Amino acid sequence: MDELTHHKSWMKRNRIWFIPFIVVFIIVLIAFFSSGLGGKVADISKAYTDRALYKNAIEEVKKNSKAINILGDIKPIDKMAITEGFVDYSEDNKKVKTSIRLKGTKGQGKLDILAEREKNSWVYKEIKIRIRGLEQPIIIIENK
């Protein structure tokens, strides 16, 4: 009963599925970064951390009586609204074009923002709200 049992190493026991998994994983990573999706993920993460961009835009929306009449009291933007939306930063991160979900007590719409960074703050060139059922968007700030 003193027989020694030899155990194969983890790699030898699992190489049948492990090596193909690694190859497929590398192919997926190459496809992801070459398709440009890596840049989109970076843009979303920048927007996610730049809360002032959205907070100040919401303050501008709250000043617009037409938006308040249609949407009601504007709710704060939740964290998922940014990840569900569209974000596109310029290469130097000085300009941003974004669209996110906007909710109010009476309804919801899409908030479109075009802004440029000057020093440490955003200057809004355009803020619009698109609402389903309205032919024209509500213009909060017109392109200057």
pLDDT tens for 60-113 read 999 999 999 999 999 988 877 877 888 887 878 788 898 889 999 999 999 999
Which tokens belong to 134? 């309205």
Compute how many other C-beta atoms are within 10 angstroms of the C-beta atom of residue 137.
15
Per-residue pLDDT band for 117 (boundaries 50, 70, 90) equals confident
Q: Give the pLDDT confidence score for residue 129 in this predicted structure.
A: 94
Closest CA to 93 of 33, 61, 53: 53
pLDDT value, residue 69: 92
Give the 3-state secondary structure of residue 92. Answer: coil
Choose among 87, 111, 83, 85: nearest CA to 98.
87
Q: Looking at residue 102, what is its pLDDT?
A: 92
- Residues 16-65 have pLDDT tens digits of 888 889 999 998 888 777 766 555 665 555 655 577 888 888 999 999 99
Domain-by-domain residue ranges, the chain?
37-141
pLDDT at 31 (0 to 100)? 79
Q: Which tokens hold the place of 113?
A: 């923002």
Q: Does domain 37-141 have CATH number 2.40.50?
A: no
Q: How far is CA 12 from CA 3, 21, 22, 49, in A?
A: 22, 15, 15, 44
Report the 10 Å Cβ neighbour count for 138.
Answer: 19
The confidence score (pLDDT) of residue 36 equals 62
Number of neighbouring beta carbons within 10 Å of residue 45: 13
- Report, as an integer, the average pLDDT of 117-140: 90
Give the phi and the psi of residue 141 in degrees, each rounded to 5: -130, 125
pLDDT of residue 44: 58
CA dist 32 and 58 (Å) reads 33
Query: What's the distance, Cα to Cα, between the start and end of the chain in Å?
Result: 89
Query: Quick one: pLDDT band at residue 143, thresholds 50, 70, 90?
Result: confident
